[in-house]
Structures are given as C-alpha cells and as structure tokens.
C-alpha cells in the first residue's frame, strides 16, 4: 500500500515559523498525511470529520482547533498531496479557495 507524498512541507514550515502555535497541529497533520493512503474523499472524511471538499480534489482542513486553514489539492492516482494554502481565517477569507 502506497502512502501519500506531501508537496511541500516547506510551505508548512514557512508558515509555522511565523505562527509558532501552528507547529504542533501542522506537524501532526503532516505526519498523518504521509502515513495515509487516501484513495477518495470518503477516506479523508473518515479520518477528518470537519474536512471540507471543493472542486478539483481540493480539501480544506481546520488546523489548531479551527484557528488556521489548510488547503491541499490531491492527486489520488499518484498519492500526492499538494499544499496550496495555509493561513489564518482572515487570510483564508481573502482568497478564492476554489481556485488557489
């Protein structure tokens, strides 16, 4: 069984360098994601009940007790998770989550 590849952890690290309280929840998400073998949105939903699903395989995760938002785009056949956005709720409100 293949596990997910997260591209790029660097984006998460850059964010948590400015938001130290995000280190533990983002690192925990990353650890869970690279151990996962998600094949469909249902696989994610069973692990993350509050995950939101957008078009083109984008998924929104609530991070740190819903203090932060993480948007990824998933290529299920290639087991790849592309980090598209990580930010605060106010930053999230300023982007188009459907297109990022």
Confidence (pLDDT) at 27:
97
Q: In angstroms, how far apart are the furthest CA atoms of the chain? A: 38
pLDDT tier for residue 82 given thresholds of 50, 70 and 90: very high
* Close Cβ partners of 24 (under 8 Å, ≥ 6 residues apart): none
Residue 74: strand pairing partners:
81
Number of helices (H), then strands (E), in the chain: 4, 5
Identify the pLDDT of residue 12: 97
Q: What pLDDT was estimated at residue 2?
A: 84
Q: Over the range 25-39, which residues count as b (16 or more CB within 10 Å of their CB) and which as e?
A: bbeebbeebeebebe
Q: What are the tens digits of pLDDT across the range 17-70?
A: 999 999 999 999 999 999 999 999 999 999 999 999 999 999 999 999 999 999
The reported pLDDT for the residue numbered 73 is: 98
């Amino acid at each position: 069984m293949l596990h997910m590849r997260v591209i790029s952890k660097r984006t998460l690290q850059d964010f948590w360098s400015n938001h130290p309280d995000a280190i533990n929840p983002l690192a925990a998400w990353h650890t869970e994601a690279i151990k996962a073998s998600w094949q469909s949105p249902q696989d994610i939903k069973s692990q993350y009940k509050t995950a939101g699903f957008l078009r083109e395989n984008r998924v929104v995760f609530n991070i740190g007790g819903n203090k932060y938002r993480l948007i990824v785009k998933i290529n299920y056949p290639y087991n790849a998770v592309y980090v598209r956005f990580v930010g605060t709720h106010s930053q999230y409100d300023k982007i188009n989550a459907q297109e990022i």
